[in-house]
Amino acid sequence: MRLAAEPTLDRLYTSHNHWLKAVVYRRVGCTETTADLVQDVFMRLLCKPSMPAMDEPRAYLARIAHGLMVDYRRRQALEQAWLERLAQLPEAEMPSPEEHVQIVEALARIDALLDGLNPRVRKVFLLSRLEGRSYPLIAEQLDVSLSTVEKAMAQALRHCYQVLMG
């Protein structure tokens, strides 16, 4: 089965690689990032058990690339926020380069896990779990009732459970 899909993927790559690079480059403006994202598009297809049927290959490739670009931008924003936070730390508390990469990876996983939550529910969850704030303090900070905070946390935890358990 895999062998039958490879020539199709090869033709798809040969026919649309340059076009896809141009499309992605217009959005990200960096040749290295463009190359990585386009490679990831074709890697996603390569990792599928069989080649999906495509009436419009360019639309299909563009949809995959769009999702990867959204993930890339989200990760960039997370990393920038992390770097801004790091700049506030004393030098003695700076993480090693390895720890930095692990932290950014963990933040990206958390962000993906919380994707799709209502912004207030997400904020409540992050204030509680990442900043260690109590529910009453969160309620006061967000100017909502304690019951609202409790319901938001329950919703966030249900969402996380559903995402993690599939």
pLDDT 10s per residue in the chain (166 long)? 444 444 588 889 999 999 999 999 999 999 999 999 999 999 999 888 888 888 889 999 999 999 999 989 988 888 888 888 888 888 888 888 899 889 888 888 888 888 889 999 999 998 999 889 999 999 999 999 999 999 999 999 999 888 888 7
Please tell me whether residue 63 adopts helix, strand or coil conformation: helix
pLDDT at 3: 42
User: Could you give the residue ranges of the DSSP H alpha helices within the chain?
Assistant: 2-28, 31-47, 57-87, 97-114, 119-129, 135-142, 146-165
The number of beta carbons lying within 10 Å of the beta carbon of residue 85 is 10
CA angle 38, 41, 46 (to 5 degrees): 125
Q: What is the CA radius of gyration of the chain?
A: 21
What does the domain layout of the chain look like in residue ranges?
1-95, 116-166
* Residues 12/41, Cβ–Cβ less than 8 Å: no
* Residues 41/68, Cβ–Cβ less than 8 Å: yes
CATH (one of 3.40.50, 1.10.1740, 3.40.1000, 1.10.3470) for 1-95: 1.10.1740
Candidates 86, 145, 89; CA nearest to 120 is 145
The fold adopted by the segment(s) 116-166 is: Arc Repressor Mutant, subunit A (1.10.10)
pLDDT at 79: 86
Answer whether 0.75 is exceeded by the pTM: no
